[in-house]
Structure formats: structure tokens, C-alpha cells
Amino acid sequence: MRVNKVNLDRISNLKYVVRSGWIIRGVPNALAETVAGHTFEVALISMYLADELRKCVETDVEKVLKMSLIHDIPEVVVGDVVKLVKSRAPEFFNNIELEAMNELGLSNYVNLIEELNKGHTLEAKLVKLSDFAATYLQGLRYLRTGHEEVKEIITNTKTVLRELINTWAPEECSELIRKLLRSLSVDL
């Protein structure tokens, strides 16, 4: 049986890769959230939402956790590219992310990255929602400490969160999702 050699030393460098959107908005490097810190928060939010949503819809919590843990791993190879740039060439960046996963020894998880990028499953949508919720919450933290330039990220993220809930949330679960997000201080 062949075992993939995961390049954990390289992946762990995500602890030092800062999220570029905050830097662009004036948050100093020393205070900027790292990709690893963001991933941790996304995983916690994803786990919480997935567990609670099982009350109204079948949810694969294990898949949600795996997706949330690996969703930004390719950034150790490609860096943290701002959403504006990624949105202009999504297919290009999707392919680069898949190559990065293989390069890092995570080829067993390429299918989860592909599923997340397509965004058609409930699990992928939950991780996307959690990703935006974590960004929104971090923006609020920066705003409370005087970094006014992050308001644009907060406003845009709030809009995306509303759209996500309104367009994909199972009808019987949309109010529960709103309540769960409010319990995390994500006020929509």
C-alpha cells in the first residue's frame, strides 16, 4: 500500500502567511490575521453550523470539517490572492489550487477542493458561508480596534452572506442559519 507523503513542514507555513485583504486595508503585518488563524476559525464555525443544521437537513459533518481545514491550504504555494483577482480568472486559480494540493502530497483531498470550488453541495456551501462569516467577524475585530479601512470588507462580506443564505439555504433551514450566525455575532 502506497502512502502519500504530506509536506507538513511546508503546509505549516500558513501560520506565517498573512491575509492580504487586511494588509491592503491598512492593518499592519504584525496584527494581520494569518491564513492558518483564519482556517481555524472557519473550521470551528463550519463544525458548529453543520452539527446544528443536522436538526433540519442531512449534513455530512466530517466532509464539512475536512473541506474547512483544507480550503486555504493551496495558499501556501500560490499566496493569499485577493478575491477580486481570483474572481476574474476562477478556472485558472482552481487549476492552480489542484496542482498545489498534489504538490503538497494532498492528492487524496483534491476532490474536496473541486467540490468546494464548484459550490453545489450543501457541505461546500456551508464551508463558503463559514469562510465569509469568519472574514466578517475578523473585520469587526479590526474595526473595534480603530482600523476604519476594513469597513468595505465588512459591508461586502455581509452582502455576500445574505445572498448565500437567500439563494442556497434549504428553505426549512434558512431561519435556523440566521439564528446560528447571530449567536456567533454575525448580525445580518
The closest alpha carbon to 134, from 37, 22, 23, 27, belongs to 37
Per-run averaged pLDDT (10 residues), the chain, 188 residues:
86 95 95 97 98 94 98 92 79 89 95 95 97 98 97 96 90 91 95
The closest alpha carbon to 132, from 62, 54, 45, 65, belongs to 45
Round to whole Å and give the CA distance between 122 and 49: 11
The closest alpha carbon to 101, from 79, 62, 66, 73, belongs to 73
> What is the reported pLDDT for 54?
93
Q: What are the φ and ψ backbone dihedral angles of 18, each rounded to 5 degrees?
A: -85, 150
Which residues in 129-153 are b (16+ Cβ under 10 Å) and which e? bbbbbbbbbbbbebeeeebeebeeb
> What is the reported pLDDT for 62?
97
Class of domain 8-183: mainly alpha
Round to whole Å and give the CA distance between 81 and 7: 21
> What is the reported pLDDT for 46?
98
> What is the reported pLDDT for 170?
81
Output the nine-digit C-alpha cell for 135: 472574514
**Could you tell me if 75 and 113 are in contact, meaning their C-beta atoms sit under 8 angstroms apart?**
no
Spans of all domains in the chain: 8-183
**HEC per residue, 57-87:** CCCCHHHHHHHHHHCCCCHHHHCCCCHHHHH
